[in-house]
A = this chain, B = another copy of it.
Amino acid sequence: MVKRYLKLISLEEARHLLTTSFPPPAMTEKVPVTQSLGRVVAVPVYAKYSVPEVNISAMDGIAVRSRDTIGATDRKPVTLEHLSRVNTGNIVPPEFDAVVMIEDTWEVGDRFQIRKSAAPWQHVRPAGEDIREGRLVLPRGHEIRAFDIGALATYGVTSIDARAADVGIIPTGTELVPLGVRPGPGQVVESNTIMAQVFLSAMGSRCTRYPIVPDDPDLIAESLERAVRENDMVIISAGSSAGTRDFTEGVIRSLGELIFHGVAVKPGKPVMLGKIDNKPVLGLPGFPLAAQSMLREFAAPLLESWGLAPPHRHTVKVRLAQAVTSDLGFDEFVPVFVGRIRETCWGTPHARGAGVQMATVKANAYVHVPPLAEGFEAGEEIDVFLTTDPGSIDRTLILSGTLDPALEELANLVHDRGLFIHASTTGNIGALMALKRRSCHAASLSLPALPVMSECRFLMQHLPATGLVLIHIADVEQGIVSQDGITIEDLPKVRWINTRKDTSMRMVFDSLLSERGIEPATINGYHHEVSGPQAVAAAVRNGFADAGMSSSGIARACGLRFVPVAHEHLELAFHHDMLTDPRIATLLPRVNSPEFRHILGKIGGYGTGETGKIRLLGADRTIIDLRPDGIAQ
């Protein structure tokens, strides 16, 4: 047995230690006002002069003495002796106290007549109306926005003193290669410190990335000493190898003090904090998602406690489409995808390994599960933190079901129309369930090529008494994928990998076996089930199995050989009332476009004869063909 962590402390305790052990460095940076967006004011900004500096006219017109205008009416116009023609922004001479709009004056020879009295100060912008000389424009701590910069310039402010902090970031790990170098087997591109630099610079810190340090305690110590000397805070980013993890703690202890190592948080448990020369040294775990949450939950709060601009945190209330599970005693952060179906925001958790960065890329939010919760139930309403513009939620179509490469191409097509497609792999049954509870806009179904009525029966079994629209995407070739061209005859000799019972691939495979009188029990791996054809191809490619059922498109994408067996229909299904949804309305003409058929043709393996065909499956099990715009023919 090996020692891992002496003792895990809670996230709350760790953050308390972090934000109370290090007083803010007394650093400011003079920033030209034109480059101050997002920076935080360190020294209060005062107006250099009044704006306007003298009384000016707010309108085009004539400056008058209000007392001269008393009694003017349509029937008794007043002709003015004392006046001055002014335009908007012109000085109102001191002897005048009001402006009459040019529309309300009549020129009579070289004089002006008015037919309404003018109230004192009317249409005059008094000196200092906007701000007076010496008055506070921006207090300390204010985060500068684009429109603040306009005001600052108006008030004569050319630069501001912004809060600043120098952050040194050290990547460690012998397995790391720098960005731009193609990693060999077992190597990875050093990307965590790039991410840290981008993330922390946006808060207004100045980040320096040091060269990659291999797994050598002396070299780590040398780099760390230098970084501590040159910065207010140091982040030491661990590689995933055992070496760096173990060395960092020792090096921190040798140069200063270790405050903690190991926090009850997921991902991010191996995070550590040290103090060297009274400066914080944060040890970042190597798994990318762990590094992300530690940047967000530790590095950012520390810089925020120093007065830098925190990342904006917008929450949105969602209903969970799937349960989120979490370990009791741990603070857990899970990427979530948020989409809106009619009035409800649905959140779909993307809980996968801490090494799967695509989970965060595809997500637009994350959820925090506190230590005393074991997770959240499906259907529960919870708050999640958004990581994108909330407007993008309404521009996103949520798809659930089979992920075929044809759908990725469709997604690319509709992006040009401002529509995003977010797809999650759930299989046919999962997709129909999502459709039933309306946690997706549309289900992508792969249906075995069986007579129409049984297709209908299959759907009706799961979605009784509802009008469902089916749009045909393509016919997809199904067959056996392998490294070496395995056919149905080879079955008894190979390691097989199967898909779940509700998939079209499985239905076809099972009927193939029964046709040929092959006993499933004789097939090595028949009970090894993965989610779908993508996972089958991955397993075969990675050598975990010799063969399985997949599609020709997926086989090509994975560089596998393909022996065709049958074909399936790839269909999008959605509730009839969604025909009026703007996202569906944008989607339909793209599916039914020559462009889309052309793309599928180029990829190969797709039958596009019926692509774009729309049918309505009525609640009474009747099938009606619809026109491309969704109207009954």
Give the B-binding residues of A (Cβ under 8 A): 1-2, 4, 33-34, 37, 44, 48-49, 51-56, 58, 60, 87-91, 94, 97, 102-103, 120-121, 125-132, 134-141, 143, 145-156, 158, 175, 179-180, 182-183, 185-186, 188-192, 194-195, 197-199, 202, 239-243, 286, 288, 291-292, 309-310, 312-315, 353, 355-358, 360-361, 387-392, 408, 411-412, 415-416, 418, 420, 528, 538-539, 541-544, 557-558
Contacts A2-B60, A58-B355, A127-B541 known; A150 to B288 CB distance under 8 Å?
yes
Alpha-carbon distance between A593 and B416 when the two chains are bound, in angstroms? 60
Chain B residues within an 8 Å CB radius of A60? 2, 242
Closest to A149 in B: B198
Q: Which residues from chain B contact A292 at a C-beta distance below 8 Å?
A: 147, 150
**A146 touching B37, Cβ below 8 Å:** no
7 new A-B contacts, CB < 8 A, other than A88-B240, A126-B539, are A125-B355, A137-B361, A141-B418, A147-B195, A150-B195, A152-B191, A314-B314
Judge whether B158 and A179 touch: CB under 8 Å: yes
Which of B130, B141, B189, B353 meets A358, CB within 8 Å? B130
The distance in angstroms between the C-alpha atoms of A373 and B391, with both chains bound, is 24
Interface contact A195-B542, CB-CB below 8 Å: no
Whole-angstrom distance between the alpha carbons of A88 and B192 in the complex? Answer: 16
CB pair A88 B241 closer than 8 Å: yes
**Alpha-carbon distance A257/B248, docked complex (angstroms):** 67
Chain B contacts for A528, CB-based, 8 A = 120
CA distance A393 to B358 in the complex (A): 33
Given A128-B542, A389-B310, A390-B313, A412 and B139 contact (CB-CB distance below 8 Å): yes
In the complex, chain B residues whose CB is within 8 Å of the CB of A420: 139, 141
CA distance A292 to B154 in the complex (A): 13
User: Which residues of B sit under 8 angstroms from A538, Cβ to Cβ?
Assistant: 126-128, 132
Listed from nearest, the 6 A-B pairs whose CB atoms lie closest are A150-B195, A153-B191, A89-B240, A151-B357, A146-B199, A87-B242
Docked pose: A192 CA to B132 CA in angstroms:
20
A103 to B361, CA, bound (A): 33
Return 29 A-B CB contacts under 8 Å, by A number: A44-B412, A49-B183, A52-B355, A58-B353, A87-B241, A88-B240, A88-B242, A91-B186, A120-B528, A120-B544, A126-B538, A126-B542, A127-B542, A130-B357, A136-B408, A140-B412, A141-B420, A146-B195, A147-B357, A148-B361, A150-B195, A152-B191, A153-B190, A153-B191, A156-B179, A158-B180, A309-B389, A313-B390, A313-B391
Cβ of A198: which chain B residues have Cβ within 8 Å of it?
A: 34, 37, 146, 149-150
A239: which of B89, B136, B392 is its contact (CB, 8 Å)?
B89
- Give A192 to B153 CA distance when docked, in angstroms: 9
| CB-nearest residue of chain B to A409 | B136
A388 to B179, CA, bound (A): 35
Contacts of A190 in B (CB 8 A): 153
